Amino acid sequence: MTFSLDSLRRWPDFEADELRAWDAADTLILDEAAARLNGEVTVIGDEYGALTLGALDRGASRVRVHQDSVAGELALAANREGLDHHGGSFVSLPLTRELVEGATLVLLRLPRSLEALEQAAALIAAYASPEVVVYAGGRLKHMTVTMNEVLLRHFDTLDVTHARQKSRVLVARGPRPGPEVEPRRQLHGDLWVVATGGVFAGTSIDIGTRALISVLDRLPEYRSAADLGCGTGILAAHLARRAPGARVIASDRSAAAVASARLTAEANGLDITVTRDESLASEPPGSLDLVLLNPPFHVGAAVHPGVSTALFEGAARVLRPGGELWAVWNSHLAYRPTLERVIGPTRQIARTPKFTVTASIRN
């Protein structure tokens, strides 16, 4: 059976049929690395499995892969079923030494975040083989000269391929081993925020989260609560401080966010359960009194309402009858009818020209 990238499908975490699971940058990376795809390969940043499955189809015997999104891992597993890859295999790993140790070939989708690129480049340089070759590709509209500078801090040489279909690959060789990148820390009042590379907003507190924090003194009482889409875990930290005896969960689909939330909880001495899953999927139905949510509304560069709707539906599943979802959202998105439909009666808590905070009661 011959594998084709056209056969790839996204994990259906929300309806996004117009969004493909691969793009021209994936095919260009595979084409540039084709002559080396005959042994073990490490893949970093594979959105929905195109690089991993493409490498296996072109002769790789084993792939170690890191995907930030748990949806990507689910998509990779689903796309792997039924495809013949000549006995090749893959294993999903965290962004740690085990992922890159001894690697001679790394396929990397360039992240938007320079901090995330720095973290990956330093990790590869520290633990991969001295003979490692890194093929780092992306769409031209998302690539900057600063990415070259980041890679050249950790590698001796950097070659730039010709562009094709608005994509390009940077080829790095000659790793210069050094220390791994330490998570960043910032003190906000009496709260430490800790961030690994690539997590949304870094160590800052974004204005949507600030809007929600400003009304937390009006929350109902709770014995169990979750910060859904927790990022660095700022809202979970506030929940844990407000009710020290409550069970507090910080949950996100992103590995970078989960790592950051754990570090934030540790830095502040807080007892918070941190989980990486889709929309609180690992939490039993009807088990929570309260969910806080500052939802994203983009898939890459595209605005897509399915992102928030899936999170609202996840909150509805885990809230007990009478439990509440407190959400902050960009006012122009007008989510209130969706919240009324998915959760239940919804009241406005606060509103500015940019943000609206609402509380929805589970029917």
CATH class of the region 5-175: alpha beta
CA 36-180-92 angle, to 5 degrees, is 50
Q: In Å, how far are 41, 206, 215 from 331, measured between CA atoms?
A: 45, 16, 16
Structural domain spans, the chain: 5-175, 184-361
Cα–Cα distance measured from residue 304 to residue 195, given in angstroms and rounded to the nearest whole number: 26
Phi, psi dihedral angles at 138 (to 5 degrees): -170, 180
pLDDT of residue 47 exceeding 70, the answer is yes
Question: Taking the complete model, does pTM exceed 0.85, yes or no?
Answer: yes
Q: Do 5-175 and 184-361 share a fold?
A: yes
CATH assignment of 184-361, given 3.30.413.10, 3.40.50.300, 3.40.50.2000, 3.40.50.150? 3.40.50.150
Average pLDDT over residues 297-302: 51
Residue 7 confidence (pLDDT): 62
Residue 16 confidence (pLDDT): 42
Q: How far apart are the first and last CA of the chain?
A: 50
Confidence of residue 166 (pLDDT cuts 50, 70, 90): very high
